[in-house]
Amino acid sequence: MNSKTTPIEAVHTAVEYVTLNDEPVLRVVKKDKLMAFDENTYAKLTGSVFHNGTIEVKMLSRLLPDAPDFARGFIGIAFRINEDDTAFESFYVRPTNGRINDPVRKNRGVQYFSYPKYTFDYFRNLGITDFEGPADIGLDEWISLKAVITDAKAEFYLNDCEEPVLVVEHMKHGKDAKGALGFFVDIGTEAFFKDWTITSTD
């Protein structure tokens, strides 16, 4: 499955193809749940079914003019989305945290969460830091994401680096979950996606 042949369904988002720097890209912004974090807000690849394999996409985020102060340019992927959009796994980045001098925020450049229960807020309230980490990224630049999914394990790579920025050994929905793929966006973000390729291994 690749970006030239995939129909898109907007889930609590506004989705359109636009031209950015003389090339066609997918633009995604939140339409509903505007002030709720880690929700089912994504552009879903219609008809996609994914269990194990590799997800690759290039993504770029900007802050919307009305973005709140706590907006971070949240942009990423949702995968193994169930049929009614009530459960999925997700990985996203916070580009404004990538190169900041604040060590706490810098260590929150990337994030895994599992909808609906295991949000970033859930992990932080319990002092669990296993599902976030740093990354050398910024706003308004193309970020290459590769996710390698094997049963309950997920490895996430950015910008063709050989080492993953985050490894999740036990995803919360377990090794047998499967479902659709989507491009995730959160509060205050204008998100752009291009050049996606999905390779399933089962």
**94-149 confidence digits (pLDDT tens):** 999 999 999 999 999 999 999 999 999 999 999 999 999 999 999 999 999 999 99
Backbone dihedral region for residue 105 (phi beyond 0: left; psi -120 to 50: alpha; all else: beta): alpha
Closest to 135 in 3D by CA, of 61, 81, 190: 61
Beta bridge partners of 154: 149, 168
pLDDT tens for 39-85 read 999 999 999 999 999 999 999 999 999 999 999 999 999 999 999 99
Task: Give the amino acid at 189.
Answer: T
Phi first, then psi: give them for residue 22, nearest 5 degrees.
70, 20
Which helix (DSSP H) or strand (DSSP E) does residue 121 occupy?
helix 120-125
Q: What is the pLDDT of residue 74?
A: 98
2, pLDDT greater than 70: no
Q: What is the pLDDT of residue 28?
A: 98
pLDDT-derived band at 152, boundaries 50, 70, 90: very high
| Residue owning tokens 């291994």 | 201
According to DSSP, residue 186 is labeled -
pLDDT-derived band at 6, boundaries 50, 70, 90: confident
pTM: 0.95
Domain 8-200 has CATH 2.60.120.560: yes
